[in-house]
A and B are shown apart, each in its own frame.
Chain A
């Protein structure tokens, strides 16, 4: 009888509990998931915008699986380091001809992509040094320290713990980004590439270390949640509030103006900051070394001791990692000072850029002109149109700006759509008491504040902006531009294996199709 009595309430209780919990989980996901990116919650696609291994700095990646089952990820390094067009010397790609090349040469970013796969057991953290990667070595000790190995003249590192896989070192000097996205299998099955999986299991941090001084700075990866109801198995991650969350509408940083005096150092060590050497802020020779006090070397500016300078690292939200074609985007930057005065600049972003504030604009960030602190707003306008696909990608004579007005401008199979959105990280450098050297004292990286959600354009009518597919009346197939409303109406073809119904175009990442051999 006791059993029967329990039966009467156990069944409805169990069902009710299941329903309530499922509803609760759904509701929680909806409330918590604003459809935006985040730097403090796990995701399916995680982006480390600034990864450096160039001989002067190196990066330590920490990554962990926050779920209770084993999870897999496919990771892609994109090397955005620049090379001078003739000499091939390392340089900084940026506005105009870039920086660091002799006159007559331009700094070109090569945007080389390399990738690897990892597996993390339940709740497992892992770590690797970017310049060495991490080898699979079951004989690693358990002494809490990594060992340096030389494998065929390449410096590698083995660390204690369950190795996540062979984490390769990227080609070096490396200055670029790391993207990882969750997959359903480790590296795919024979004959089939791994498919993206909406598990939202990964979180990570990057710690950048200056080799000579040991100064460090650290930021959280920027993470995108994916929707398991929508994410399909093709090799395209659509950042459109459908498959994957959307990029932010704008990013904001609050920071010291370029070459402002570090107010804390100046307060705690006034003598050290106001004597010896400093850097010219403003005037005709900003950044030049000067002598404190007075700084007669500064032509029209002020000599600042214990100065702070900053770099912003940019990566686009749309990337064709498969074709390695860079879709440029015009990044708008607005610097607002404490008097609310707003000044702006813009530049064209390729695959990656890491620019100091004075490289972005010599005037709008300058402490001499703008005061001590600024708020910087970064965004791209979706109404700027670029080719997102088409034969223009393989046309060596095509305009590399990929600006378009219609699909026809992008050649056969062309898709003209909104230019990419942008993600960014800021790193501040504290010159401290060593302004006469090139060595900074301290560094501090910080994640952006991400505001709003980026909007896109309806593929079938580029005059209509959209936040999600439901905002558009219909779409067009990627392959042949026939009208469609669902992916099933767009059959894959040999030339367009990732054919799909483009409805609301915002951002997308086309991932390399790595197909394991059939034994």
Chain B
């Protein structure tokens, strides 16, 4: 009896510990932010398609009111390409047919290009993904210009994205103005406006704006390996979030305001870890827990190679009407989806589209995901 009592007590202690663990996992807030100055900025979704009238305006600003800052930035081109023609294709399974009828495969790809941006004190700067930023467009192209204290944008040149259509991400790391090595400071903020310019009919513009997600610097050393979170005092940056929380309307849900438009949400996820030095991919898996308004829970998983950009209802199936993200399946209008990277941290953004038939979306709204709990293991970004 004594033994069983002790067992009960110890079981209770363990249960209490596990409860604490669960409670702490729920309550601890993440330390990545989409509304703070940071040492690393991540724009998960940069899209451009000159033929379809889509481009992204990228804005970045220095919040330091006295000193210039520099950023080492990386476009990640996540386009897939046909193995035979090299043309951009959407996904494995797409047809890559040459004029002679020879078929190729659509191969996922990721190619990185990098550039530097120098911002003077308090300065905002902007460019479009398709246009980039040439030296002649810079407000203060060289020292001795109109900017204060001899500061200038010298050293800045933003290339246009390498392909159209383009889907990819942008990461910028705050670096020393002189030697371009990572430093702290947390002085970068940014946002992106995804814009569609549709000329059909009378023509119209639709736009959605989200904030770049920031990873705050602790004390980065000057090497090329940026350690994000993790124990043992090795962390140079605060950790990525353990869980991303997305509030959304289920795909196909009727807009409760117009009662005619239908909702379609695109989710973009990118890994916290990336190896820009060797361009090696370490795919990770995203787990999705989906709650409807009946408190019913569904789940699915999907691999995230270097970038996942998908309509919600195509994450778990190729038949959107059968998806757990479809309003007809879930039964309610609103959903909450919790996303966890199984073997690495994730960063994301969402775009809500309001559709009226098969035309381009009538309305676009981009927004940031919520972030909960810190990852206990490190994520790493290696830069050249």
- Which residues of A are in contact with B by a Cβ distance under 8 Å? 3-4, 7, 10-11, 13-15, 17-18, 21-22, 24-25, 28-29, 31-33, 38-42, 58, 60, 62-64, 66-68, 121-129, 142-146, 148, 157, 159-162, 200, 203-205, 207, 209, 211, 213-220, 225, 252, 254-255, 262-265, 267-269, 272, 306, 336-340, 342, 371-375, 428, 430, 432-434, 441-451
Q: Given A7-B3, A375-B123, A446-B211 in contact, is the A209-B247 Cβ separation under 8 Å? A: no
18 A-B contacts (beta carbon < 8 Å) = A3-B3, A11-B9, A21-B20, A68-B22, A125-B247, A126-B334, A204-B247, A207-B352, A209-B257, A218-B365, A220-B367, A264-B197, A340-B148, A372-B126, A432-B205, A433-B203, A444-B193, A445-B365
**Contact indicator A129/B189 (Cβ below 8 Å):** no
**Contact indicator B199/A31 (Cβ below 8 Å):** no
- B residues near A14, Cβ cutoff 8 Å: 10, 13-14, 16-17
A365 CB to nearest chain B CB (Å): 13
| Interface residue B50 (Cβ < 8 Å from any Cβ of A) | yes
- A residues near B207, Cβ cutoff 8 Å: 428, 430, 442-444
Please tell me which one of the listed residues B3, B27, B29, B33 contacts residue A4 in the complex, with CB atoms under 8 A apart: B3
Q: Given A42-B370, A162-B293, A339-B139 in contact, is the A129-B256 Cβ separation under 8 Å? A: yes
**Contact indicator B330/A144 (Cβ below 8 Å):** yes
Stretch from B57-65, B76-84, B95-103, B108-116 contacting the other chain: B57-65
Please tell me which one of the listed residues A144, A272, A374 contacts residue B252 in the complex, with CB atoms under 8 A apart: A144
**Contact indicator A144/B365 (Cβ below 8 Å):** no
**Contact indicator A336/B336 (Cβ below 8 Å):** no
Please count how many residues in chain B sit with their CB below 8 Å of the partner chain's CB atoms.
116
Bound together, the chains give a CA A431 to CA B324 distance in angstroms of 37
Name B's interface SS: mixed
**Contact indicator A339/B336 (Cβ below 8 Å):** no
- A residues near B356, Cβ cutoff 8 Å: 214
**Contact indicator A125/B199 (Cβ below 8 Å):** no
**Contact indicator B35/A450 (Cβ below 8 Å):** yes
Stretch from B173-181, B270-278, B300-308, B371-379 contacting the other chain: B371-379
Q: Report, nearest first, the 6 A-B pairs whose CB atoms are least far apart.
A: A161-B293, A144-B327, A25-B24, A142-B331, A28-B28, A14-B13
Please tell me which one of the listed residues A31, A67, A214, A255 contacts residue B374 in the complex, with CB atoms under 8 A apart: A31
- A residues near B295, Cβ cutoff 8 Å: 121-124, 162
Bound together, the chains give a CA A272 to CA B205 distance in angstroms of 11
**Contact indicator A336/B291 (Cβ below 8 Å):** no
A61 CB to nearest chain B CB (Å): 10
Bound together, the chains give a CA A307 to CA B17 distance in angstroms of 59
**Contact indicator B20/A449 (Cβ below 8 Å):** no
- B residues near A18, Cβ cutoff 8 Å: 13, 16-17, 20
**Contact indicator A373/B211 (Cβ below 8 Å):** no
Tally of A-B Cβ pairs under 8 angstroms: 359
**Contact indicator B258/A444 (Cβ below 8 Å):** no
- Which residues of B are in contact with A by a Cβ distance under 8 Å? 3, 6-7, 9-10, 13-14, 16-17, 20-24, 26-31, 33-37, 50, 53, 55-57, 59-61, 63, 120-126, 128, 130-131, 139-140, 146-148, 151, 189-191, 193, 195, 197, 199, 202-211, 213, 238, 245, 247-250, 252-259, 261, 291-295, 297, 326-328, 330-336, 338, 352, 354, 356, 362-374
**Contact indicator B209/A268 (Cβ below 8 Å):** no
- A residues near B140, Cβ cutoff 8 Å: 339
| Chain B: CB-nearest residue to A448 | B35
